């Protein structure tokens, strides 16, 4: 099955040039960067890559070379003297629990808001953005791609359409500048994207402002699609390049990929440590670690070999079911954007139908009665069932019988006191049990409602809202993730402490509060 040729009108946008990528902290400070990160000068490797140099890199490097051999030299003091260190939150804020959860949510839009940054400090890792935006909170001081869609759900509920438009414009700007939306607006994220929710952002705005929005963002929708499909036409069956794979039947599906095979700069020491425990070539391992970061699920046994260890990670061998549902949505939105050009719309509708069939063929696991990822290298379904299996329900890919089977599996194997588990595996990774995350609760709820599994959907809503509310009442915080097995304990795992803020939790919670069934606090 060969891909269809695009109408000539699309080609102009697909080959639009992107801006040259600015240097990253490791490129600006060779040697010093490694000394800081591997020396654990800061508990979190992200601190240094977010710091702003107070002098030109050449001057700082020269001073370091001159001073580091002197008696009593302290690297931490040197960094503090030559860099402005980041702060987690420039706004002094204390929760007013007594004023209630809704007041807290409304206040957080201001707390997490950042002004437009059309110009950034010299040699900063921050990428400029032309419009105001919201950050997730805590150590996440910049805009994040897939986080933002779920934050925007709350903005719509709060009737903050100006910010909804600003956020969408910022992502369109990033596509124009760099040819894709990076993981976040940092130089060290310019090697990878994240789950492609841009078309859903556009549809969200179109729901409020009409279908002219689809035409407005059509060039960027096409450009993002080109990024994900780059190199597809040159592939033979069972070959892959970058983010696209041609399967044995000729179908095209996608995977996560990072263009770098070096340790992540924001988690440099962690990646180097993993490589030291692995027998794999370091470049191969680093690529798979980075690809998992591109997925947003960093890290999970979803990506691991049967060994179940981080060093066994094989992300680039996996065709993720959720990623391909999101790209199906992108194809459908592009088709809708060509409503006034029926022949072009039909091309994109056909692309979406091809992907729909491919998801069904490769990701429906009849034996497990679940939508699973597909290992294209081994040509077999992935063994791990994950909450990503709800995405075919969210995007109407599942048949009614398949949806019923998935709902039964959610009820029996994933539903816990606080909501739905991410996976059933207790690995110590943050995208495994006992943890649960707001975006996956939302996608599961929407998928269940699409197939009239309303009782289970309502139960998930009730348990998730109750857990979020109780934690807020006890701590004054909304958190990045939650423990849904033992709801009296915090979520754990991962490379950094539990973060509060928190953009996507706030957005999903407000959406659920405004759209929950009556009497939702009975269970």
Tell me how far apart the alpha carbons of residues 212 and 119 are, in angstroms, rounded to a whole number: 30
293 near 258, Cβ under 8 Å?
Answer: yes
For 244-292, what is each residue's pLDDT tens digit? 999 999 999 999 999 999 999 999 999 999 999 999 999 999 999 999 9
Domain boundaries, the chain: 34-84, 385-523
For 421-438, what is each residue's pLDDT tens digit? 999 999 999 999 999 999
DSSP 429-450: -TTSTTEE-HHHHHHHHHHHHH
- Number of Cβ within 10 Å of residue 343's Cβ equals 9
What pLDDT sits at residue 520?
Answer: 47
Catalytic choice (50, 142, 169, 298): 298
What pLDDT sits at residue 5?
Answer: 40
Tell me how far apart the alpha carbons of residues 265 and 303 are, in angstroms, rounded to a whole number: 21
Active site residue 142: no
Kindly compute the dihedral angle of the four CA atoms of residues 37, 39, 40, 42, in this order, to the nearest 10 degrees.
-70
What pLDDT sits at residue 92?
Answer: 62
Tell me how far apart the alpha carbons of residues 289 and 153 are, in angstroms, rounded to a whole number: 29
What pLDDT sits at residue 99?
Answer: 95
What pLDDT sits at residue 93?
Answer: 76
pLDDT per 10-residue tile (average), the chain, 523 residues: 40 52 97 98 97 98 97 98 84 83 95 96 98 96 98 97 98 98 98 98 97 98 98 98 98 98 98 96 98 98 95 98 99 98 98 98 98 98 96 98 98 98 97 98 98 98 98 96 97 91 97 78 39
Active site residue 224: no
- DSSP-derived letter for residue 500 is B
57 near 29, Cβ under 8 Å?
Answer: yes
As a whole number, the mean pLDDT across the chain is 94
Tell me how far apart the alpha carbons of residues 185 and 171 are, in angstroms, rounded to a whole number: 10
CA atoms within a 13 Å half-sphere pointing along the CA-CB vector of 338: 21
What pLDDT sits at residue 363?
Answer: 98
Tell me how far apart the alpha carbons of residues 323 and 391 are, in angstroms, rounded to a whole number: 9
Catalytic choice (50, 251, 480, 500): 480
**Tokens 């933002």, located at residue:** 148
Tell me how far apart the alpha carbons of residues 254 and 321 are, in angstroms, rounded to a whole number: 9
CA distances (Å), origin 321, targets 10, 256, 274, 374, 472 = 27, 11, 27, 8, 33
Tell me how far apart the alpha carbons of residues 465 and 513 are, in angstroms, rounded to a whole number: 7
């Amino acid at each position: 099955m060969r891909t269809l040729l695009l109408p000539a009108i699309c080609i102009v946008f697909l080959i639009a040039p992107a801006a040259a990528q600015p240097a990253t902290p490791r490129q600006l400070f060779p040697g010093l960067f490694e000394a800081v990160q591997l020396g654990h000068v800061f508990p979190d490797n992200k601190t240094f890559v977010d710091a702003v140099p107070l002098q030109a890199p050449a001057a700082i490097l020269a001073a370091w070379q001159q001073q580091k051999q002197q008696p009593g030299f302290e690297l931490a003091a040197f960094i503090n003297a030559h860099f402005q260190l980041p702060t987690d939150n420039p706004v002094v804020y204390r929760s007013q629990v007594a004023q209630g959860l809704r007041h807290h949510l409304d206040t957080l839009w201001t707390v997490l808001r950042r002004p437009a940054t059309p110009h950034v400090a010299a040699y900063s890792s921050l990428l400029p953005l032309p419009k105001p935006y919201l950050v997730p909170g805590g150590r996440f001081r910049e805009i994040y791609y897939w986080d933002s869609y779920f934050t925007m759900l709350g903005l719509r509920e709060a009737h903050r359409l100006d910010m909804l438009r600003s956020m969408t414009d910022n992502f369109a700007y990033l596509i124009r500048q760099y040819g894709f939306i990076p993981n976040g607006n940092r130089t060290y994220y310019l090697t990878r994207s994240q789950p492609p929710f841009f078309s859903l952002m556009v549809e969200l705005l179109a729901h409020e402002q009409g279908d002219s929005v689809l035409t407005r963002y059509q060039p960027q929708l096409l450009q993002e699609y080109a990024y994900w499909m780059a190199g597809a036409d040159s592939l033979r069956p069972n070959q892959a390049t970058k983010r696209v794979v041609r399967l044995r039947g000729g179908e095209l599906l996608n995977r996560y990929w990072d263009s770098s095979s070096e340790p992540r700069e924001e988690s440099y020491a962690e990646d180097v440590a993993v490589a030291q425990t692995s027998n794999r070539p370091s470049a191969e391992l680093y690529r798979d670690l980075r690809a998992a970061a591109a997925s947003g699920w960093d890290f999970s046994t979803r990506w691991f070999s049967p060994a179940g260890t981080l060093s066994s990670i094989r992300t680039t061998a996996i065709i993720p079911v959720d990623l391909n549902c999101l790209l199906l949505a992108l194809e459908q939105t592009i088709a809708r954007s060509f409503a006034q050009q029926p022949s072009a719309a039909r091309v994109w509708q056909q692309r979406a139908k091809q992907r729909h069939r491919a998801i069904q063929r490769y990701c429906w696991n009849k034996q497990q009665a679940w939508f699973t990822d597909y290992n294209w290298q081994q040509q077999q379904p992935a063994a791990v069932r994950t909450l990503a299996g709800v995405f075919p329900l969210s995007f109407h890919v599942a048949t009614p019988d398949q949806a019923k089977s998935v709902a039964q599996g959610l009820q029996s194997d994933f539903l816990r006191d606080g909501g739905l588990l991410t996976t059933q595996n207790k690995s110590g990774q943050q995208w495994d049990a006992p943890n649960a995350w707001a975006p996956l609760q939302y996608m599961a709820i929407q998928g269940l409602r699409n197939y009239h599994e309303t009782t289970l959907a309502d139960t998930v809503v009730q348990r998730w809202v109750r857990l979020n509310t109780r934690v807020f009442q006890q701590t004054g915080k909304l958190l990045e993730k939650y423990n849904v097995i033992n709801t009296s304990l915090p979520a754990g795992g991962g490379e950094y402490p539990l973060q509060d803020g928190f953009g996507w939790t706030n957005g999903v919670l407000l959406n659920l509060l405004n759209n929950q069934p009556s009497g939702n606090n009975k269970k």
